[in-house]
Chain A
Amino acid sequence: MANILKIEHLFKNYGSVEILKDINVEIEQGDFLVLVGPSGCGKSTLLNCIAGLEPITGGSLHIGGQDMTAVSPKDRDIAMVFQSYALYPTMTVAKNITFGMKVRGVDQATQDKKLAHVAQQLQIENLLKRKPGQLSGGQRQRVAMGRALVRDPKLFLFDEPLSNLDAKLRVEMRTEIKQLHQRLGASMVYVTHDQIEAMTLATKIVVMKGGVIQQIGTPAEIYNRPANLFVADFMGSPAMNLIPAKARANGSGTDIQIAQDRGDPIVLTDTKNRDLPEDVILGVRPEDIGDAAMRSGAHMQEAECLIDIVEPAGADTYAVMQLGGKHVTARLHSETNAAPGNAQRLAFDLGKVSYFAPDTGLRLN
């Protein structure tokens, strides 16, 4: 299938400040690309560059196979949903949705037909005569989506569209956007700082930091095999435990030794990964540490750990301990008998861990 969006060696400077450095991304028809990263990482600037709202300093940008590097936004065949919704305050909902068609000289009958279709799709038929000021946050959000949908563009752009909604509505709209994507089979680029949104919506995630792409991959790849310490720490909640450790080769695999604040260091034997340097940072997700009694598997390794804090969270209970000088969180069963101050026998799933180099932060395995 053809690339719907292809960005090659894109650079963006404001004066002497480099905002985006050598960005290379491509997506195919029907992809849902999420640009995620902390604020100031350049993700919104990148989206604006794709839209043509910001000129780029270097590189090229193709949409639907055509070179759009220097084309103005109106000719890029895109539609965009903004964080502030950017509804035209003096126009009714209907006029907001049809404004783009009106500007482009689409005849009235087509306008009406498309408006009716989109309104029905988003269930905003009863709002069409209102002005944006009379709408709730969620309704504005729908209208903003309607304005994009009605254009039926090659590429949809979303700039943190859910960040102004309250928590409950945000989850609802997230599901709705996902449904919409699946139903339309449209191609989308979506900016967010919320890694859960990224994980749930994307078919492809780009993690950014400081104007540089850290990793591109499917949600599963990003989650299971983070490319560096930044991605490991940023994606996932609670965050991945990153524990300084010593690796030592032994016959069948590698011994991973982790210091404990009190008591003896624990040693786990990794039979999967070899040839690790001596100093490593072990990355292990909370769900990959569990009660020894309830876990078993090929790469399970057990150790006695001193529990500092126990945090029941309904479905799970989180236990926090000190390993390698760091707070380490384990996700235990809600009926665990772990108690603060006691030692607990925990199982580490070494089949799913990541190793990083302490100096470069890059993935080792």
Chain B
Amino acid sequence: MADLSVSAASPAGQSQTGKIALRWSLYTLLCLFALFYLLPLFVMITTSLKSLDEIRTGDLISLPREVTFDAWRTAWSGACTGIQCEGVRPYFWNSVLIAIPGVAISTLLGAMNGYVVAQWRFRGANIIFSLMLFGCFIPFQVVLLPMARVLGMMGIAGTIPGLIFVHVIYGLGFTTLFFRNYYVSIPADLTKAAKVDGAGFFRIFWSIFLPLSLPIIVVTVIWQFTQIWNDFLFGVSFSQAGTQPVTVALNNIVNSTTGVKEYNVDMAAAIIAALPTLLVYVVAGKYFVRGLTAGSVKG
């Protein structure tokens, strides 16, 4: 697919300068789009480094005249979310406490489920898989009300374990899908050979499939981490004052009506909330994209 523009010159023949002009406009266009995507991030960062005075007098895209980290300090440990003024710090840790077990459990279950569906087909396995797959697509609004009641009955309403539970349940469809699609491409002969060799269900999983799974584990972990970290709906519906995740806290800071609007603090808090997933994206972008596309174009 490479070189289409270069090698497929029309028979009429573009002039050399025409070609160069085309190339330049192409790059210019690409850069303009890059600016469009970068502008919000740029504005967030510069705003977070300005003082409130400078924000009021200066302009949106100007660089800070005087760099100050006050807003970051406030956002981390002093900003008010409603009545409490502890910054996003405690909520950041809530998100960590929700995300880590949530990711680990849903990935592990997804791996086992995918292994069963792909390699141990039994009557009805496909129907079960289809039903699980469809669970990925429901609008979660349709489960919010009963879930709130069930969490209450289980005694984990408004707790971090409650949120972990919710994220695991509604993450299962996707994690199963990921592993299933990965394992289905592994020849069934491998399982057969191991059976003849005397290995059982768990032994085959542990000794043969798991060592093969690193790429898909990375994809799944990144996907689930991004989903859980960025979640707002479950967080706002099933948490209470002390257990809110960082997205909910951020929204509360930004939309709190008390006192002066501190845009620089809002921006710093937003960057803090975005940092973990951005970091994952920068470090493992390849796997991130693979997860996104795997989730939509099923392989």
Are A and B in contact, CB atoms below 8 Å, in the complex?
Answer: yes
Tell me whether A80 and B212 are in contact in the complex, defined as CB-CB below 8 angstroms, given that A74-B198, A86-B187, A103-B199 are known contacts: no
- Does A94 lie at the interface of the complex (its beta carbon under 8 Å from any beta carbon of B)? no
Shortest distance in angstroms between A34's beta carbon and chain B's nearest beta carbon?
20
CA distance A85 to B193 in the complex (A): 9
Tell me whether A74 and B195 are in contact in the complex, defined as CB-CB below 8 angstroms, given that A88-B208, A90-B211, A99-B207 are known contacts: yes
- Does A361 lie at the interface of the complex (its beta carbon under 8 Å from any beta carbon of B)? no
Report yes or no: B212 in contact with A147, Cβ–Cβ below 8 A.
no
- Does A210 lie at the interface of the complex (its beta carbon under 8 Å from any beta carbon of B)? no
Report yes or no: B196 in contact with A80, Cβ–Cβ below 8 A.
yes
Per the 8 Å Cβ criterion, residues 106-126 of B in contact with A are: none
CA distance A82 to B196 in the complex (A): 11
- Does B100 lie at the interface of the complex (its beta carbon under 8 Å from any beta carbon of A)? no
Report yes or no: A80 in contact with B192, Cβ–Cβ below 8 A.
yes
CA distance A84 to B192 in the complex (A): 11
Report yes or no: B190 in contact with A88, Cβ–Cβ below 8 A.
yes
Tell me whether A103 and B212 are in contact in the complex, defined as CB-CB below 8 angstroms, given that A86-B187, A86-B192, A88-B190 are known contacts: no
Report yes or no: B203 in contact with A103, Cβ–Cβ below 8 A.
yes
Shortest distance in angstroms between A361's beta carbon and chain B's nearest beta carbon?
35
Tell me whether A73 and B195 are in contact in the complex, defined as CB-CB below 8 angstroms, given that A89-B212, A99-B207 are known contacts: yes
> Interface digits, A18-53 against B, CB 8 Å rule (1 contact, 0 not)?
000000000000000000000000000000100111
Which of the listed residues A48, A52, A53, A91 has the most CB atoms from chain B within 10 Å of its own CB?
Answer: A53
- Does B66 lie at the interface of the complex (its beta carbon under 8 Å from any beta carbon of A)? no
Report yes or no: B197 in contact with A100, Cβ–Cβ below 8 A.
yes
Given contacts A79-B196, A99-B197, A104-B198, 10 further A-B contacts (CB under 8 A): A48-B192, A73-B192, A73-B195, A80-B193, A84-B189, A90-B211, A99-B207, A100-B196, A100-B199, A103-B199
- Does B194 lie at the interface of the complex (its beta carbon under 8 Å from any beta carbon of A)? yes
What is the interface of chain B mostly: helix, strand, loop, or mixed? Answer: helix
What is the interface of chain A mostly: helix, strand, loop, or mixed? Answer: loop
Q: Which residue of A lies closest to B195 (CB)?
A: A73
- Does A78 lie at the interface of the complex (its beta carbon under 8 Å from any beta carbon of B)? yes
> Interface digits, B203-229 against A, CB 8 Å rule (1 contact, 0 not)?
100011001100000000000000000
- Does A83 lie at the interface of the complex (its beta carbon under 8 Å from any beta carbon of B)? yes
Q: Which residue of A lies closest to B186 (CB)?
A: A89
Q: What chain B residues lie within 8 Å of A88 (beta carbons)?
A: 190, 193-194, 207-208
Report yes or no: B197 in contact with A78, Cβ–Cβ below 8 A.
no
Q: Contact residue range for chain A?
A: 20 to 34
Q: What chain B residues lie within 8 Å of A90 (beta carbons)?
A: 208, 211-212
CA distance A88 to B192 in the complex (A): 11
Residues of A within 8 A of B (CB): 48, 51-53, 72-74, 78-80, 82-91, 99-100, 103-104, 147, 151
Q: What chain B residues lie within 8 Å of A89 (beta carbons)?
A: 190, 212
CA distance A51 to B207 in the complex (A): 22
Q: What chain A residues lie within 8 Å of B196 (beta carbons)?
A: 51, 53, 73-74, 78-80, 100
CA distance A100 to B189 in the complex (A): 15
Q: What chain A residues lie within 8 Å of B197 (beta carbons)?
A: 74, 99-100, 103, 147, 151
> Interface digits, B254-297 against A, CB 8 Å rule (1 contact, 0 not)?
00000000000000000000000000000000000000000000
CA distance A80 to B197 in the complex (A): 9
Q: Which residue of A lies closest to B187 (CB)?
A: A84
Q: What chain A residues lie within 8 Å of B189 (beta carbons)?
A: 82-86
Which of the listed residues B187, B193, B194, B203 has the most CB atoms from chain A within 10 Å of its own CB?
Answer: B193
Shortest distance in angstroms between A152's beta carbon and chain B's nearest beta carbon?
13
Q: Top 10 A-B pairs ranked by shortest CB distance?
A: A100-B197, A86-B189, A74-B198, A90-B211, A86-B193, A82-B189, A103-B198, A73-B195, A80-B196, A103-B199
Shortest distance in angstroms between A101's beta carbon and chain B's nearest beta carbon?
9
Q: What chain A residues lie within 8 Å of B200 (beta carbons)?
A: 74
Q: What chain B residues lie within 8 Å of A100 (beta carbons)?
A: 196-199
Q: Which residue of B lies closest to A151 (CB)?
A: B197
